[in-house]
Chain A
Amino acid sequence: MTLRVEIELTRGSFELAVDFEVPAGTVLAILGPNGSGKSSLLGSLSGLLRPRRAKILLGDRDLNALQPYDRSIGLLSQDPLLFPHLSVVDNVGFSPRSKGAGRRESRNIARRWLAEVDAAEFADRKPAQLSGGQAQRVAVARALAGEPDLLLLDEPMAALDVDAAPAIRGLLRRVLSSNKERATVLVTHDPLDALALADHVLVLTEGRAIERGPTREVLAAPRTAFTARIAGLNLIAGTAVDDGLRTEEGRRIAGMLAADTALGEPAVAVFAPSSVAVYPAGDGHPGSPRNIIAASVTALEPHGPVIRLRTDAGLAADLTPAAVADLRLEPGSAVRLDIKATTVTVYPASLTA
């Protein structure tokens, strides 16, 4: 079902005023720093907060008039919050049970969802016997087992260690893409989560949406300095290969494959502007020859303490003002961009983006 939202909310001196739409079967990422209003927004959607004025239409139901338990939502937060006194299977069966299914039926539903998230073998354990990643896996199953029309993901990877996060991200990619009816809102401060999971991005700051659009566009070519600072990334699309990525033009970008990247699948090489080194064109080759891209400077933008260099290759680099002066860079200057392979990560591309 499609979600249409208009919210005005006041908490102390903080004001949130935002509107957006999430078509059925798609994922919207709300990207913003701490204090931008992300959690107030999510609270309004889940019903734990009551906005001053709100229209939250899910299909033709106005959620704002409903109690949380009547909204048909699923919530996954950074803490799995599995009920410690219930076994894993009863945790997952909690939602069907609360919605009227019998004990046996709920458990059957739960086992199906546990299998779906590759956690069937944990069914009879207590949450205390699970690792963080396993618990979050179960929490995903629990949030989905009630067949919610709206799924809310609140920084679902933020509390996981670096080994567990890619697996959960991959799991979420799979379950999100397999349902064409459900609308999903993902709240995150990590542009990589948005990149991996979301079709669209809405950038929130101080309670206002300052930028929105398809994920890749917003992240690769931020139209506001603010978005560029929190989310500006260099993205190169292509196909995953064993040592990185191959673009459509056949250029190879060396990088590290993320855990959930499958070879031969569409992928994106991602790296921060700060990991791009800039040399004058024609200089010698001090580094690895593969990740060297010739370009010319199109713009120089101050970003706080650094200057962001934009190039006609679509890539950005962050430099100190002193370096810009030393290299005598100005729009039109020919440069050589050098990207260290270990700073490049190759992620699976969001399927619909």
Chain B
Amino acid sequence: MKIPWVLWVPAGLALALVVLPVVGLLVRSDLRRLPSLIVTDSSLAALRLSIETAAMSTVGCIVLGVPLAVVLARSRVPGIRLLRAIVLLPLVLPPVVGGLALLYLLGRKGFLGYLLDVTLGVTVPFTTAAVVIAQIFVAMPFLVVSLEGALRSAGDSYEQVGATLGARPWTVFRRVTVPMLLPALGSGAVLSFARALGEFGATITFAGSLEGVTRTLPLEVYTQAESDIDSAVAVALLLVVLALLVIIVARPRALEGGTG
């Protein structure tokens, strides 16, 4: 397709809006001091925690989100449309509010949190698990939305053929639904990972901020910004590089799979 020339101006502006702030970060940072600012115990601990929690929450998103997407796309249970809308809630909810909601549910006085505390002696807030839960909360809609869209546009005719060929529902899910979803699953997982990596508001509200336990890279940036803006910028750049790596390494393959 030949691109109409009128598209170039807004397209350029859109790109500038995304790229220039990052350039601003680079300009603002003292590149010679950068290594020493990044390689501190606290930012390395935050980097490690971020990668670990984002990876765990991506796995969580897949394990929980794939079945949810299948149910939302295929089930004919009444009220499924309402459920479909509710699943998107974390996308519009300010993350801080999401964190409060999680706190009121899983906190010591939240109804589920109280139950966990009394029956199992488990308290969720201020733990790495709380970080993962907060990240799954904000990131899962990205996965579910992209999977549900893929399922709907693919239709269920392949699954029906699978059934007529004698495959039981679980076999159809394993050998037809999941393999055909893989491209969408790849890009959805990358989106969720990226969103989990950048998650801030729900984490700080629900999980708190403690080095090595709950202080992920975004929280580290925010903490550093209070005292030393240069090291905050340095850590922010680390986050940018990490996010770019994830997107560059995983995204194109996922996209090619989607068109192939």
Contacts and interface: CB of A to CB of B under 8 A. Distances in A.
Contacts of A86: 179
Interface in A53-76: 67-75
A290 interface: no
Nearest to B155: A81
B168 A83 contact: no
A7 B175 CA distance: 33
Contact of B163 (A47, A99, A152): A47
B166 A85 contact: no
B153 interface: no
A48 interface: yes
A264 interface: no
B39 to A, nearest CB: 44
A46 interface: yes
B157 A85 contact: no
A79 B157 CA distance: 10
Interface string B150-166: 00000001101111111
B166 A146 contact: yes
A129 B78 CA distance: 41
Nearest to B163: A68
Interface string A40-51: 000000111000
A98 B157 contact: no
A48 to B, nearest CB: 6
B164 A94 contact: no
A69 B180 CA distance: 20
Contacts of B158: 81, 83
A142 interface: yes
A73 B161 CA distance: 10
Given A98-B165, A98-B167, A48 B180 contact: no
Contact of B164 (A46, A79, A99): A46
A98 B167 CA distance: 5
Contact of B165 (A67, A74, A79, A84): A74
A77 B160 CA distance: 11
Nearest to A92: B165
A184 interface: no
Given A84-B180, A85-B182, A69 B168 contact: yes
Contact of B167 (A47, A71, A81, A94): A94
Interface string B163-196: 1111111010001100110100000000000000
B164 A75 contact: yes
A70 B163 CA distance: 9
B182 A69 contact: no
A95 B182 contact: no
A135 to B, nearest CB: 13
B157 A74 contact: no
Choose among A77, A83, A143 the residue with the greatest number of B CB atoms under 10 Å from its CB. A83
A80 to B, nearest CB: 9
B160 A68 contact: yes
Choose among B161, B169, B175 the residue with the greatest number of A CB atoms under 10 Å from its CB. B161
A48 B165 contact: no
Contact of A73 (B164, B175, B176): B164
A48 B165 CA distance: 13
A67 B168 CA distance: 9
Contacts of B171: 98
A112 B175 CA distance: 22
Nearest to A72: B166
| In the A-B complex, the 7 residue pairs with the closest CB atoms | A98-B167, A95-B165, A68-B163, A75-B164, A85-B179, A98-B166, A99-B166
Given A69-B168, A95-B165, 8 more contacts: A75-B164, A81-B161, A83-B158, A86-B179, A94-B165, A95-B166, A98-B166, A98-B168
